[in-house]
Structure 1
């Protein structure tokens, strides 16, 4: 009996010492609501080919853990905290790239050639994005400033712009991630407009 009680006490002690598991988040849309599986023909009969590069982010955000402002604060840059148990499912530049690619493929009926080994397809619209600011406070505000360019290859014609956002962030990490998805949706719409402006 004493051995059983000791074993139960030891098991309870070990369970109490176990570290909580981190939770992983993605900026991609749920399966079935994202990118087109293959390029569709434009009204001119040509498919749309894009190449979305990894997104540049400030070093303070380039980490596995989510970085947010204090709960309910109006300015996510003022007091930052790193959430050890809330992590991106991939490095943030890749998360942003994949989410933008997914939305652009859906918006443009396009195919992303990045790392696909495709050659001989043209024109290709090479898309780069640079996150100047991306911050949010749970239960407060989420904001962003994203510079982007679209370069049509092979002739090099260029379109560029800025996407800005300032919107409410819901409570908790889920609210922050939802706000970031909304911000990326707006940026993808802006970038898609840049692609359309360069289409022959």
Structure 2
């Protein structure tokens, strides 16, 4: 008759420890992924100036409360979203959008960099305010950015108020979602840059005044059509970088 060896407490503790380490290792094996809306390369400057004569300031961006978090938020259906704990923005979403707009609008409007023109110089400052109404991410389908934005100069009280709604198709994967949002923001930036360029060109002859409520400026400057921004964004995406 074979006698069973009693389990020692040492064996039990060793077994529990091994199981615990396996659980901890499994939990630690899912790294957090960080994404940014910043640009990989500078878009082509569509209008260059030998002597920069204006500056651009983008105010802090407003976003819906539901997406104002570090995690990516994706749509499951029209009434349900999912917060992704392991997929996050590199900085807060409002800052990501603002930084992307600052870079793209300055590049496409032909404005100097932040350190190129001293704040004390007597140049017009175009102040841009952005209020994101909708920021939706539909995996494997599309992204949607719905934005109300305004442009005014530091010397004026009137503003030009415009509305941009951009929908970009995306493939599967969260990286594709972020890429779709980057393209959509590029369209909005191209529309803003078009207004700034037109305003700066008009202000060369005489002071510019916006008629905020009508959405038009005194010299025929109005909100761009959606196709204008889409084409500009497409051009900058395929254009080679200038030396």
Class of the TM-score when normalised by the shorter of the 2 chains: 0.7 to 0.9
| TM-score, length-scaled by structure 1 | 0.80
The Cα of 1:78 is off from its aligned counterpart by 2.8
Alignment-derived partner of residue 195 in structure 1: 196
In structure 2, how many angstroms separate the alpha carbons of the residues matched to 1:138 and 1:55? Answer: 24
Contact 1:157 1:198 in 2 (8 A): no
The Cα of 1:112 is off from its aligned counterpart by 5.5
2:157 matches 1:142: no
Specify which structure has the bigger relative contact order, considering alpha-carbon pairs within 8 angstroms and separated by 6 or more residues: 1
SS of 1:111 mapped into structure 2: coil
For the structure 1 residues 154 and 130, does the alpha-carbon distance in structure 2 shift closer, same or farther, using more than 3 Å as the test? Answer: same
Alignment-derived partner of residue 160 in structure 1: 161
Q: Deviations over 1:104-141 (max 9, x none)?
A: 11101213559x98333420101110000110211112
In structure 1, how many angstroms separate the alpha carbons of the residues matched to 2:157 and 2:44? Answer: 26
Alignment-derived partner of residue 120 in structure 1: 121
SS of 1:55 mapped into structure 2: coil
Contact 2:106 2:193 in 1 (8 A): no
For the structure 1 residues 35 and 64, does the alpha-carbon distance in structure 2 shift closer, same or farther, using more than 3 Å as the test? Answer: farther
SS of 2:120 mapped into structure 1: coil
For the structure 1 residues 168 and 78, does the alpha-carbon distance in structure 2 shift closer, same or farther, using more than 3 Å as the test? Answer: farther
SS of 2:191 mapped into structure 1: helix
In structure 2, how many angstroms separate the alpha carbons of the residues matched to 1:198 and 1:129? Answer: 18
For the structure 1 residues 149 and 122, does the alpha-carbon distance in structure 2 shift closer, same or farther, using more than 3 Å as the test? Answer: same
Alignment-derived partner of residue 84 in structure 2: 83
Q: Deviations over 1:161-194 (max 9, x none)?
A: 1111123122111111011011101100111122
Contact 1:130 1:146 in 2 (8 A): yes
Alignment-derived partner of residue 215 in structure 2: none
Alignment-derived partner of residue 15 in structure 1: 25
The Cα of 1:144 is off from its aligned counterpart by 1.9
2:33 matches 1:33: no
| TM-score, length-scaled by structure 2 | 0.67
2:65 matches 1:56: no
The Cα of 1:34 is off from its aligned counterpart by 5.6
2:187 matches 1:183: no
In structure 1, how many angstroms separate the alpha carbons of the residues matched to 2:169 and 2:100? Answer: 20
In structure 2, how many angstroms separate the alpha carbons of the residues matched to 1:62 and 1:128? Answer: 17
In structure 2, how many angstroms separate the alpha carbons of the residues matched to 1:121 and 1:35? Answer: 27
